[in-house]
Chain A
């Protein structure tokens, strides 16, 4: 069938065993992922059925940190490709009994899985697992470090809306310090030629980002007229040791996207949010549900991106093909 033929073409040049971060991917690899994701997105938009491309493969969800959306999105992606899934979360597992996360992962792997999708509150955890496991590892978020499939689905959404990434100005607004979404977006967008702005309170946005070729801004209203896309990041209250700003009210005053700010933006501005969204903090309900918002498209793209990642990593049985 045509879909499978095109997917095999894309997969033929794929050489990565794991998907750990976007920082280490080349632009052409990002493009391959996006194109495969587009094929899957299109397939389901036409209401075509479940596929059997990964029939007989097993994907384990190994989540050491709470997640509902990403976890379900990965599960559904695996199932739509015909793979079996195992669910594992740290609550009530042997991690509570003192087992190290590496031992837990090895135990799951010994059940015969082909890929482990992992989330953990500590940066680098998926990188460490990749070193200790034989199977493929997909990072579904390692603390504030990276969340590659989130970065990809954001980029895919922009690309679908605008037909390109190059030359666009994308602002990431909010808690950059604690955001894995921000980091994955920054690497992915820059490699594909976008101009990236990080914007938020000084306590959450280090001026050092400028050394990586990212524009740093503290005043949203100043940059707003130049932006093609705003990605509104959630304030990660749970990761902050000392409160980085005086009050939610003050944060909303300075950085929340509301109707008034929409009126001062480009007429075709895209409003994105990785969710879960705090309505009234980073975004007002009328904007979240308004015509500029592509938040729900991001969610459906999440499944397509994760299908693309699983397909590219698992399509081959020949381990010699892998470079890393």
Chain B
């Protein structure tokens, strides 16, 4: 039976946007958060009580740019498996990338994803439309139609907008609809054929280089254009000390830019490429420790707004090729929060409240979604996270259809225990065989 009224008690409520980081209880009624710390007299009679002792109670995570495979890349992921991975990882809202085949550059494409997502009945799925027709980077897609159909942002990522004139037009045009343009900053001519971050490790391994300045130059260009055009720009994935510094200076001048970093770029460094593990081939590439340091600092001081999953599932046959031929990508939705907790929070590099802000509140703000908060009347997207739980990542723990993660068979500390989407409790992954919802 599906309860519609839940009282989550004995846990620690963490939502910095609402000034929460303390023990408390939370009441969910009819799909929304009804109250924080309700008095016993105010509880509905048939409320179901959930004991969150020893756990954090946080807003459901929000992701920008996860790839869900459909349409056209079902060998990597489907909307059903991708949203299952999301729930397992504590995400209650995803804005999925337009990098499908065909790309999502028409209202029909947006509609297709929305309907598939409704049928999958996992987490909430929002759609990012293409900036350019066919994601070719030459001319504008029908952005008005995409927005009308429900696109929450426009982006060709994970492909950079290399055509500067097009980016300029896109920023101007999207400003009319008050929707952000999402760009992955990279100058492709400097990274063509590249496999890993250019540096000492790359010099030794002799893999084709992806220099940091390829990202810095594009970041600098994007920020400069935004000054002229106005509108809203979100950089999906910065990973260099140079990029961080450029953004920091732009924000000091009140630029409306927002930026994200991929979880992989905070937790793994270029030296790990010594294993030649193809699941570590990602874009932006894993950088050297100085760059990671700079990014962590930028997360802490607010220069970086969003920690994104960078979820790019790739089927085994694609990742079993030689490194030159392997496509970029790491599957991350299942593990991002636990990984961040293990690698960043437990090591003292980042505090948990800031992590929640960057994985829930920040991305919700970029996309104007009613999510990422724990406050009365906001939708009941809530996660219970057990920071003590030790678990090992295996194919059975993963909702994603793909296994391209270096965390396979690794132990993580901290695990998502329960998830509510719109006030409805979602079945944990282990029970996936039983029908969910209704």
Q: Which A residues are within 8 Å of any B CB, using their own CB?
A: 23, 100-103, 120-125, 127-128, 143-145, 177-178, 180, 183, 206, 208-209, 211-212, 241
Name which of A124, A180, A209 has the most chain B CB atoms within 10 A of its CB. A124
CB-based nearest B residue for A101: B322
* CB–CB B321/A100 < 8 A: yes
> Can you spell out 21 A-B residue pairs with CB atoms less than 8 angstroms apart?
A101-B321, A102-B320, A122-B325, A123-B206, A123-B207, A123-B276, A123-B323, A124-B205, A124-B322, A124-B323, A125-B322, A127-B275, A143-B207, A143-B324, A144-B206, A145-B205, A145-B206, A183-B204, A183-B206, A208-B203, A241-B192
Closest residue to B275 on the A side, CB-wise? A127
**Interface 0/1 of B188-205, CB less than 8 Å to A:** 000011000001100111
Indicate if B46 sits at the interface (CB-CB under 8 A). no
Return B199 CB to nearest CB of chain A, in Å.
7
Most chain B Cβ neighbours within 10 Å, of A121, A123, A180, A241: A123
Task: Chain B residues near A23: list those with CB within 8 A.
Answer: 204
For residue B317, CB closer than 8 A to chain A, the reply is yes
* Chain B residues near A100 (CB-CB < 8 A): 317, 320-321
In order of increasing CB-CB distance, the 6 nearest A-B pairs are: A124-B276, A144-B206, A122-B322, A145-B206, A122-B324, A127-B276
Segment 12-65 of B: residues with Cβ below 8 Å from A: none
Asked if residues B320 and A124 are in contact (CB atoms below 8 Å), the reply is no
CA distance A128 to B274 in the complex (A): 11
Cα–Cα distance between A103 and B205 once the two chains are bound (Å): 24
Q: Which of A128, A180, A208, A211 is B276 in contact with, Cβ under 8 Å?
A: A128
| Bound complex: CA A183 to CA B207 (Å) | 13
CB distance B206 to A180 under 8 Å? Answer: yes
Question: A124 vs B321: C-alpha distance in the bound complex, in angstroms?
Answer: 11
Closest to B316 in A: A100
Q: Given the complex, which residues of A lie within 8 Å of B204, measured CB to CB?
A: 23, 183, 212
> Which residues of A have CB within 8 Å of B276?
123-124, 127-128
Residues on B with beta carbons closer than 8 Å to the beta carbon of A102? 320
A211 near B200: Cβ-Cβ < 8 Å: yes
Q: Which residues on B sit within 8 Å (CB–CB) of A208?
A: 199-200, 203
**C-alpha spacing A137/B192, complex, angstroms:** 31
**What residue in chain B is nearest A209 (Cβ atoms)?**
B203
Smallest Cβ-Cβ distance to B321: which chain A residue: A100
Residue of A nearest to B322 (CB): A122
List 13 additional A-B contacts (Cβ < 8 Å) besides A121-B322, A121-B324: A100-B320, A101-B322, A122-B323, A122-B324, A123-B206, A123-B207, A124-B205, A124-B322, A143-B207, A145-B206, A180-B206, A212-B200, A241-B193
Residues A143 and B192 in contact, CB atoms below 8 Å apart = no
Question: Which residues of chain A are near B203, meaning CB under 8 Å?
Answer: 206, 208-209
Asked if A143 and B206 sit within 8 Å, CB to CB, the answer is yes
For A241, the chain B residues whose CB sits under 8 A away are: 192-193
Distance (whole angstroms) from the CB of A22 to the closest CB of chain B:
12
Interface string of B302-333 (1 = CB under 8 A from A): 00000000000000010011111100000000
A206's nearest neighbour on chain B, judged by CB, is B203
User: Which residue of chain B has its CB nearest to the CB of A144?
Assistant: B206
Complex Cα–Cα for A103 and B317 (A): 10
The minimal Cβ–Cβ distance linking B316 to chain A, given in whole angstroms, is 10
Measured CA separation A128–B324 after assembly (Å): 13
Contact indicator B193/A124 (Cβ below 8 Å)? no
Distance in angstroms between the alpha carbons of A123 and B193 in the assembled complex: 13
Which partner residue on chain B sits nearest A24 by CB separation? B274
What are the residues of chain B within 8 A of A180 when measuring CB–CB? Answer: 206
Contact partner, B205, options A121, A123, A177, A212, Cβ 8 Å: A123
Q: How far, in Å, is A313 (CB) from chain B's closest CB? A: 20
Expressed in whole angstroms, the Cα–Cα distance for A186 and B278 within the complex equals 26
